[in-house]
Amino acid sequence: MRGPDLLNLSRVLGRVFMRLSGLTWRVRYIRPFSGRAGMARGRAVFFAFWHGRQLPLIHTHRGEGVAVLVSRNTDGQYVTNVLHSMGFDTIRGSSSRGGMEAVRGMAGRLRNGRDCAITPDGPRGPLEKAKAGTAHISRLGGRPVVPMGTSAWPAVRFHSWDRFMLPLPFARVVVVEGRPVRCMVKGDDPEEWLAALETGLRSVTSYADLLASPSARLMARCLSVLGSCLTLPAFIGLFFRPLRERRERKGLALRRSDRPVWLHGSSLGELNGLIPYIEKLREQGIPVHVTCFTPAGRKFIEDRGLQGGYIPLDVPLYAERFLRKVRPRALVLAETEIWPNTLMRTLMLRVPCLLVNGRLSTGSLRGYRLFAPLLGRMLSCFSAVVARTGDDMKRFARLGVDERVLGVSGDSKFLADAGDPPPQWRGLLDSCGPVLVAGSTRAGEEETVLDAALAAGYFPVMAPRHLERVGEVESLMVRKGFTPVRWSVLNGTPGEKLDFDSVIVDVHGVLAAMYGIGDAAFVGGTLAPVGGHNVLEPLMRGVMLLVGPHYENFREAVEVFRDSGAARVFSTSRELAEILTGLKSGPDRREDIIRDFREMRQSLLRGIFRALMLTGIPGCNGKT
């Protein structure tokens, strides 16, 4: 007895299944403010979506005549029958069968103003890896590519190569339409263009997953309600602040019509890390809007002549005001400055986001674990999360951030060059012998450094991390037999005869340049178990770097320069004294160290510019 012809039945069964399922689904369609794309709305485009996520799109775009690329195998015929029954057109072909014919057919329809759609990772994978055919169709068809992301809960995920998603009846279905990726043109690097497309697809898919997840939605709603409840207390608290700060904290920024890139860093350190990004964007003629949280950061923005101000408080009303006025084309966020309500509303507007200089300590990871279902999914929506170190990247992964958006490029705030010290600085110490500059020292470190300087015959310049400790360190130097002078006195009375054999730095903002007057430099926070402060400042001046065993914050940099002989690690004052004694009789390596540092700087800059490129900002091509 002959069985039913399933191939022919698939048209009827597929239509019945899709219509019945669609009637029960609770669909939420997220689109840009400019409106949904597609010929049905007057803008023909080239849709792209991952292979296992297409089912909701058959429902939301039914009857629009979109031409979908389908493979020529038997499975493809079943898919073709279902698509035809739902009002789609198809073009048959794949990379293994009829590829060139399919490319020409798709490109022709795009040129004629017809919508087309493709699964860039189809028909057999690898999963979520775009293939070159998409780039060729985009270039020949001359149409932008619109990334589409879908998700659903509850849903069944099959154990197929594409992890095919089948939303269950009455499921919450989320469809996210991303910002168009410009069509590929002659001269573009296909790999870079495909990387940008993959980034867009991952972002919209992760955002759909975020909105479909019950736990993430519950946390986001609770934080939004909490933020709304804080509106009145925030209003009262701001009443006593200066007018400018009051307006900016409420989101009343100056209205921008030039669609700037929004860059945010909490305070001076984070803002310094954004300087290379700001410079790169300005080189390309791209406007920027810089925000901060602290008064010191606000003064930095003003002194630099940058447009921007305070970030609004994390109240939904204030965040929405700010975004309406600034209308950013992209967000570059420094370190781990996460304001959940503001960030959620930024993602809702489909603004590409980038986290740079990302750091996440073990303690912070423990604190964030409670909110991991929300924070991990939110950061997965970013174009990239660029961590300072490999250890930071691993901790972000443990928070739940998609490993495909994670990367490492070092910390750009350590690329800021304070410049060489004024010639008169070195002149103040000309007759003092070899100089050891100890910067950002912590309690317990000064004694070790002073003992070693005394034993090796070095002139110590001590710069405590916190200026409130200047008196304490000065007393210690006296007990050790030194006659210190404060830098403000020495530099403030040129030509006056002073009796001193050491210096203590008691002013802000001079340490980075002061390393340049040294013959060797110790960087604090490495004998004390802190993890280390900026080890690159002395290296960029060509000064030998000396650190204790706790340099976790700069492990990669210290190990690179230790291998080249430009950095030394010690644990005791005796070891440090032996290193200093050896340096006195060794060759001058200043030029070699500067050359090595410049090579490292170029490598870091390439990572920075590639991260900018991933946001889709024009002009950021990853080249230095």
Q: What residues does 410 pair with on adjacent strands?
A: none
Please check whether residues 323 and 264 belong to one and the same domain: yes
Please check whether residues 136 and 273 belong to one and the same domain: no
- Residue type for position 130: A
Separation in Å, CA 63 to CA 8, 178, 189, 215, 320: 20, 21, 36, 34, 36
Final residue before a domain boundary, out of 360, 384, 415: 415
Residue 232 has pLDDT above 70, yes or no: yes
Residue 252 belongs to some domain of the structure: yes
Please check whether residues 427 and 544 belong to one and the same domain: yes
Final residue before a domain boundary, out of 360, 391, 415: 415
Residue 208 belongs to some domain of the structure: no
Please check whether residues 275 and 177 belong to one and the same domain: no
Please check whether residues 305 and 448 belong to one and the same domain: no
Residue 204 belongs to some domain of the structure: no
Tell me phi and psi for residue 288, to 5 degrees.
Answer: -130, 155
Please check whether residues 154 and 288 belong to one and the same domain: no
Position 331 scores a pLDDT of 93
CATH number of the domain encompassing residue 542: 3.40.50.2000
Contact assessment for residue 448 and residue 527, using Cβ atoms and an 8 Å cutoff: yes
Please check whether residues 402 and 470 belong to one and the same domain: no
- pLDDT category, 153, cuts 50, 70, 90? very high
Strand runs (DSSP E) across 242-303, as ranges?
261-264, 288-292
Query: CA Rg, the chain, in Å?
Result: 30
- pLDDT category, 42, cuts 50, 70, 90? low
Final residue before a domain boundary, out of 194, 228, 253: 194
DSSP class per residue in 328-396: -SEEEEETT---HHHHHHHHHTT--EEEEEE---HHHHHHHGGGHHHHHHHHHTSSEEEESSHHHHHHH
Residue 618 belongs to some domain of the structure: no
Residue 2 has pLDDT above 60, yes or no: no
CATH number of the domain encompassing residue 263: 3.40.50.11720
CB neighbour burial string for 391-405, b if at least 16 within 10 angstroms, e if fewer: bbbbbbbebbbbeeb
Please check whether residues 407 and 441 belong to one and the same domain: no
Domain that holds residue 568: 423-586
Position 40 scores a pLDDT of 57
Residue 8 belongs to some domain of the structure: no
Residue 600 belongs to some domain of the structure: no
Residue 615 belongs to some domain of the structure: no
Tell me phi and psi for residue 298, to 5 degrees.
Answer: -65, -40
Please check whether residues 281 and 406 belong to one and the same domain: yes
Residue 142 has pLDDT above 90, yes or no: no
Task: Name the least confident of 241-255, 442-456, 487-501.
Answer: 487-501
Residue 608 belongs to some domain of the structure: no
Please check whether residues 266 and 390 belong to one and the same domain: yes
Please check whether residues 59 and 109 belong to one and the same domain: yes
Please check whether residues 315 and 294 belong to one and the same domain: yes
Number of domains present in the structure of the chain: 3
Which tokens go with 548? 């204790």
- pLDDT category, 78, cuts 50, 70, 90? confident
**Mind listing the pLDDT tens digit for each residue in 336-392?**
878 899 999 999 888 889 998 888 888 888 888 888 888 999 999 998 898 887 888
